[in-house]
Amino acid sequence: MQFSAGQIAQLLHGEVDGDAQVLVSDVAKIEEGRPGTLTFLANPKYTDHLYGTKASVALVEVTFRPTRTIPKSLTLIRVDDPRAAFAKLLEMHAAHQYEKKGIEQPSYVSPKATIGKGVYIGAFCHVGDGAVLEDGVKLFPNCSIGDHVRVGRGTRIHAGVHVYHGCRIGADCLIHSGVVIGSDGFGFQPDEDGRYIKVAQIGNVVIEDKVEIGANCTIDRATMGSTVIRTGVKLDNLVQVAHNVEIGAHTVVVSQTGIAGSTRIGSHGQIGGQVGIVGHLTIGDRVRIAAQSGIGADLPDDAVVQGSPAFAIGDYKRSYVVFRNLPDLRQRIHALEQELERLKGQADALNEHPLE
């Protein structure tokens, strides 16, 4: 689809500086702009690219004043925040790209399932007994939706996602390929012979609204009750969430993090990549955990930690300075030891032959 600069400016509450009738049908980075594309300038380090871009439209700040001649083919749209405005356009572009409806064949939809309006079910999908797909759900090829699963309005589930029986997914969620929701929690009990006996995992997973789950994440069902992902949580690719974990609203978790069973994580947290969190902990609200940290104890609200085992990030950084200097410190200590031995030898010699 094509849009004029004037239409885009109206949508973004911006101001056109140039030809309001110029049309664009795609987006591009500013250094790769070409005719018919829209770009943006948010970082001053890219300003020079603006004067040579071949893009047709560029989003700039309201206060932007060019210091060189702007290409005649370029129309500016002045907005308060070019990055946020561009992100809004990208979101709309993506939504249009995935706007599909209907049930493709071959696929299986149980006659006992409930399918809302405007739902898309791609080829080779399976929708089980009692499942509910609310209005506008997009289910891309090779997905399986188990019995009695409920998927909320407007949620998009990409190819190859598997949602086990009884799980709940809220509205306006985005779930990327390869995600498994509701697989068994890692529950085993050793018997008197040391053999591990499986403990049945009879709970489910509850995902609230506006959650995004990256590719190849796994979220285990609860042993009893629910594993809960609260509103607005964002999980990067390759995150493991174990049984009975709860992640608070608007917390972000970066790739390759593993969260062990029954841990409670508060809201608005930030958890870096490759973090390991042991089970049965309580992590407070607004906690920030640096990448590759190991968390083995509860953390209070607003804690900022790093290291394995993790401790306060200020102490960690000061300790790391010492750690980096250990080879030099070792040499200095060795030199001091040699000097002490030399002085001790002199002292012993004086004791054996005192001055008269």
**Residues forming the active site:** 243
Omega before 190 within 30 of 0, i.e. cis: no
- For residue 40, give both structure tokens: 């943006």
Phi, psi of 347 (to 5 degrees): -65, -40
Distance (Å, rounded) from C-alpha 175 to C-alpha 181? Answer: 10
Please, are residues 298 and 280 in contact by the beta-carbon 8 Å criterion? no
- Is residue 240 within 8 Å of 217, Cβ to Cβ? yes
Q: Is 327 helix (H, G, I), strand (E, B) or coil?
A: helix
Residue of 139, 135, 138, 140 whose CA lies nearest to 116: 135
Other C-beta atoms within 10 Å of 302: how many? 12
Which amino acid does the sequence have at 272? G
Taking the alpha carbons at both ends of the chain, their separation in whole angstroms is 107
Query: Coil, strand or helix: which one is 19?
Result: coil
Distinct helix (H) and strand (E) counts, the chain: 5, 40
Residue 148: CA count within 13 A, CB half-sphere: 8
> Do residues 116 and 133 lie in contact, with contact meaning Cβ atoms separated by under 8 Å?
yes
CB within 8 A of 166, min separation 6: which ones? 146, 147, 148, 149, 182, 204, 221
Task: Count CB-CB contacts under 10 A for residue 343.
Answer: 10
